[in-house]
């Protein structure tokens, strides 16, 4: 278990939790009661598939506003988050106060099974409708296009796919170049990868042709986002299919990494967060959720590379900015029971079997 609870400065711990909090006028008049109760709780336990290093700006921003509350981060794989939480809940053990994950189907399963606290965040009105699961207290928190990545030193410009249809064509035309050097998610172990693939299968008519082409190229599949992106930047792989948009942050440090925003459509991932129904520290969980959804929290999230979904946050890849460029080519998820489609065991097994057989057929 990795956890992070650094105070910004020793003096902050001695100040009241509301010392830096100036609540917006749309917050309820009794919100200070939540702050006081959260301060008495003293901490919030967060399960998320993100490292301490990645989340440091958000955690430090939260603790600057609420210095009486520490953040205990458990950095876990999306599937592990689900399995661990279910196990702890079944055994009555202490678990997370907030679950924050990119595995939307698994998060939706927890919500529909009654594991989320029906908390109406005062920030709800400032989010797009699709990001709010009304009556369930679950929220989309990010706006992350699924993109392509490539190694600039290994591929010629004309070999770089610009659309999903380009992938199969260019693999066929350049099989020697791509063979054994395409990276994507292992959809059985990476929740974000499974979500993105299933969305592709619904949006893109030639999806299974693309799958067969990936098989023909003996593509390699990863559970770790960082490992996958680093393999492309290093040249071990030359192309990455369905990469998260924060891959672009790796490119700032590695000029060999190229990024493509597909020109036909962009599947949008949004990490779902909710306070758990039996949270040990429910008020601290509410504060942390509200902070993530607030303008100031979303500005930090945008700077971390996960991109804001609020229209009052500025930046080169916020929802507002991307909508101006791509319009209805953006395909965001709707926080609701529709996310459970591929968690039906028969349907999930059928999809995985078809995926595996398509990969094998291409070889």
- Is domain 10-143+270-332 classified as CATH 3.40.50.2300? no
Please give the Cα distance from 165 to 225 (Å, whole number).
24
pLDDT digits (tens, 9 = 90+) for 327-357: 999 999 999 999 999 888 899 999 999 999 9
What CATH number belongs to 144-268+340-362?
Answer: 3.40.190.10
Please give the Cα distance from 43 to 73 (Å, whole number).
10
The three-class DSSP label of residue 240 is strand
**Which residues 6+ apart lie within 8 Å of 123 measured at CB?**
290, 293, 294
E strand spans, 112-230: 132-133, 138-140, 144-151, 182-185, 220-222
Domain coordinates of the chain in residue numbers?
Answer: 10-143+270-332, 144-268+340-362
Query: Is the Cβ–Cβ distance between 186 and 222 less than 8 Å?
Result: yes
**Which residues 6+ apart lie within 8 Å of 226 measured at CB?**
none
Query: Is the Cβ–Cβ distance between 138 and 144 less than 8 Å?
Result: no
Going from the C-alpha of 142 to that of each of 53, 58, 157, 206, the distances in angstroms are 18, 13, 31, 28
Query: Is the Cβ–Cβ distance between 231 and 280 less than 8 Å?
Result: no
Residue numbers of the chain with a pLDDT score lower than 50: 1-20
Going from the C-alpha of 302 to that of each of 83, 103, 341, 346, the distances in angstroms are 29, 19, 29, 38
Token pair in block for residue 289: 């959720």
Number of CB atoms found within 10 A of residue 283's CB: 21
| Domains 10-143+270-332 and 144-268+340-362 in one fold | yes
**Which residues 6+ apart lie within 8 Å of 15 measured at CB?**
67, 68
Please give the Cα distance from 205 to 265 (Å, whole number).
12
What pLDDT does 191 receive?
83
Going from the C-alpha of 11 to that of each of 15, 64, 68, 130, the distances in angstroms are 7, 11, 11, 41
Please give the Cα distance from 84 to 92 (Å, whole number).
12
Residue 239, beta-bridge partner list = 150, 182
How much is the pTM?
0.86
Q: What angle do CA 53, 59, 65 make, to 5 degrees?
A: 155
Burial class of residue 341, CB neighbours in 10 A (0-12, 13-18, 19+)? middle
């Amino acid at each position: 278990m990795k956890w992070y609870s650094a105070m910004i400065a020793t003096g902050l711990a001695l100040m009241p939790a509301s010392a830096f909090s100036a609540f917006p006028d749309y917050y309820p008049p009794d919100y200070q009661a939540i702050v006081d109760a959260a301060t008495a709780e003293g901490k919030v336990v967060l399960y998320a598939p993100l490292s301490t290093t990645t989340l440091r700006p958000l955690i430090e921003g939260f603790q600057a506003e609420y210095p009486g509350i520490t953040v205990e981060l458990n950095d876990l794989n999306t599937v592990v988050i689900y399995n661990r939480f279910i196990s702890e809940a079944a055994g009555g053990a202490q678990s997370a106060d907030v679950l924050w994950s990119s595995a939307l189907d698994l998060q939706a399963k927890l919500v529909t099974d009654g594991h989320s606290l029906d908390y109406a965040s005062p920030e709800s009105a400032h989010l797009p409708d699709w990001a709010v699961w009304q009556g369930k207290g679950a929220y989309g928190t990010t706006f992350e296009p699924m993109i392509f990545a490539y190694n600039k030193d290994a591929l010629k410009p004309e070999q770089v796919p610009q659309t999903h249809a380009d992938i199969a064509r260019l693999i066929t035309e350049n099989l020697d170049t791509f063979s054994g050097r395409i990276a994507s998610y292992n959809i059985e172990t990476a929740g974000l990868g499974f979500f993105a693939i299933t969305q592709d299968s619904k949006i893109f008519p030639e999806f299974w042709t693309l799958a067969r082409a990936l098989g023909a190229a003996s593509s390699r599949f990863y559970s770790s986002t960082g490992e996958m992106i680093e393999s492309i930047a290093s040249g071990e792989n030359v192309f990455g299919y369905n990469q998260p948009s924060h891959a672009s942050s790796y490119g700032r440090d590695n000029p060999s990494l190229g990024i493509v925003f597909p020109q036909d459509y962009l599947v949008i991932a949004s990490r779902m967060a909710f306070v758990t129904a039996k949270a040990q520290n429910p008020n601290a969980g509410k504060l942390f959720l509200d902070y993530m959804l607030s303008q100031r929290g979303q500005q930090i999230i945008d700077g971390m590379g996960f991109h804001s979904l609020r229209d009052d946050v500025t930046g080169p890849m916020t929802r507002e900015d991307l909508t101006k460029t791509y319009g209805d080519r953006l395909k965001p998820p709707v926080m609701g029971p529709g996310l459970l489609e591929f968690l039906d065991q028969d349907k999930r097994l059928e999809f995985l079997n078809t995926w595996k057989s398509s990969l094998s057929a291409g070889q």
